[in-house]
Amino acid sequence: METADLVLAIIVPVIVLAAGWLGVEMGTEEDLSQAKRFWYRLLFIVLGLVAIGLNIWQTSRNVGQQQQVRREADKTEKELSNQLSAANGKLDAISSFEKQFLTFVSEQRPTSPDAATKAYEALAIAVLKTAQGQTTTSSPPDAHLQILYEKGELDGQTILIAVTPGAANLLITIPEFRFRNTGGRVSGVVSARLYFSRVINGIGNWMATESDEPSFPSAFYAANTSGVPVTINPQETFNWVQFQGWINPPFNESISVKLKVFYGSTRPAVANFFIRKKE
């Protein structure tokens, strides 16, 4: 509180009390002469006018101070908004650089990248996710996976697979799947679920799980096939592990298969295809 506000806060009540005391004196004093009554009334009026004037001044000061506080708050908000816009611009620039770097690395990436290449990729992914304000498990909206087989999309294809006779069952092998990120940002952590329209006993990296698809009695799950969480860079194609399993003979007709690939997006990538024994 400023000194002037403190003085006003003291003076105004004192004047009001003084005016009240005069009023009491005028009402209780007996044999009050005309001259004295006149001066009492004049002093009462003066005190009243002074109290009103000081009250108006105090109110005006309060309004002015509130307006000043509001102007300063608006100014501070505008400055913070400008700083935030500048920071977002820097983050966008960092994000753009890292995306270009990751695209270049994915195009130049050897079949078996060395430790230095993996370290550079991990660092770039971490910087990119920090610039985009994302957690390691979430995927940006424009990351998009395609499920590929040979030179085209897997959906709708019929794959001829090798079958090895066993003592009582047939061993089937489905070659590696390929997932390509056609979006502009790094995907989230990738996992996959594979469904079959016949009962199959899986072996290897695919773990048997309860099916959530009524038309597919057998279901399998796979993630972290390389021992670490898998993320796919923009424009990168990632080879997923092959599937192997035992099936009861005969195997004379095509089997319906569904593959779901989850990568942090709102919906998984899905491919419906068929497998048939290679003659």
Q: Which two tokens stand for residue 96?
A: 């753009």
Question: Is there a domain that residue 140 lies in?
Answer: no
pLDDT of residue 206: 93
Give the helix, strand, coil percentages of the chain, each rounded to 5.
45, 25, 35
The CATH number of the domain holding residue 168 is 2.60.40.10
The structure tokens 């977002």 sit at 88
Q: Does one domain contain both 60 and 184?
A: no
pLDDT of residue 231: 93
pLDDT of residue 160: 92
Helix, strand or coil, per DSSP, at residue 12: helix
pLDDT of residue 60: 78
From first to last of its 279 residues, the chain has per-residue pLDDT tens of: 567 666 667 777 777 777 677 666 666 666 666 676 677 677 778 877 887 877 787 787 777 777 777 788 778 877 777 776 666 666 666 666 656 665 655 555 554 555 566 566 666 666 666 655 544 444 445 789 999 988 789 999 999 988 888 767 899 999 899 999 999 899 999 999 999 999 999 988 899 999 999 999 999 999 876 678 899 999 999 999 999 999 998 888 999 999 999 999 889 999 999 999 887
What is the edge-to-edge ordering of all strands in the sheet holding 145-149?
Answer: 152-153, 145-149, 178-181, 237-239
Cα–Cα dist 124/226, whole Å: 20
Q: Does one domain contain both 69 and 157?
A: no
Longest CA–CA span in the chain (Å) reads: 135
Q: Does one domain contain both 60 and 156?
A: no
pLDDT of residue 77: 75
Q: Domain end: 61, 78, 95, which one?
A: 78
What is the number of structural domains in the chain? 2
Task: Name 269's Cβ contacts closer than 8 Å, sequence gap at least 6.
Answer: 144, 145, 146, 147, 179, 260, 261, 263
Q: What is the dihedral of CA 14, 20, 23, 25, to 10 degrees?
A: -70
Q: Does one domain contain both 151 and 262?
A: yes
Q: Domain span at residue 167?
A: 145-277
Q: Which two tokens stand for residue 63?
A: 């309004």
Cα–Cα dist 234/145, whole Å: 10
Question: Is there a domain that residue 84 lies in?
Answer: no
Q: Domain end: 78, 109, 130, which one?
A: 78
Q: Domain end: 22, 55, 78, which one?
A: 78
Question: Is there a domain that residue 91 lies in?
Answer: no
Whether cis (ω within 30° of 0) applies to the bond prior to 250 is yes
Question: Is there a domain that residue 273 lies in?
Answer: yes
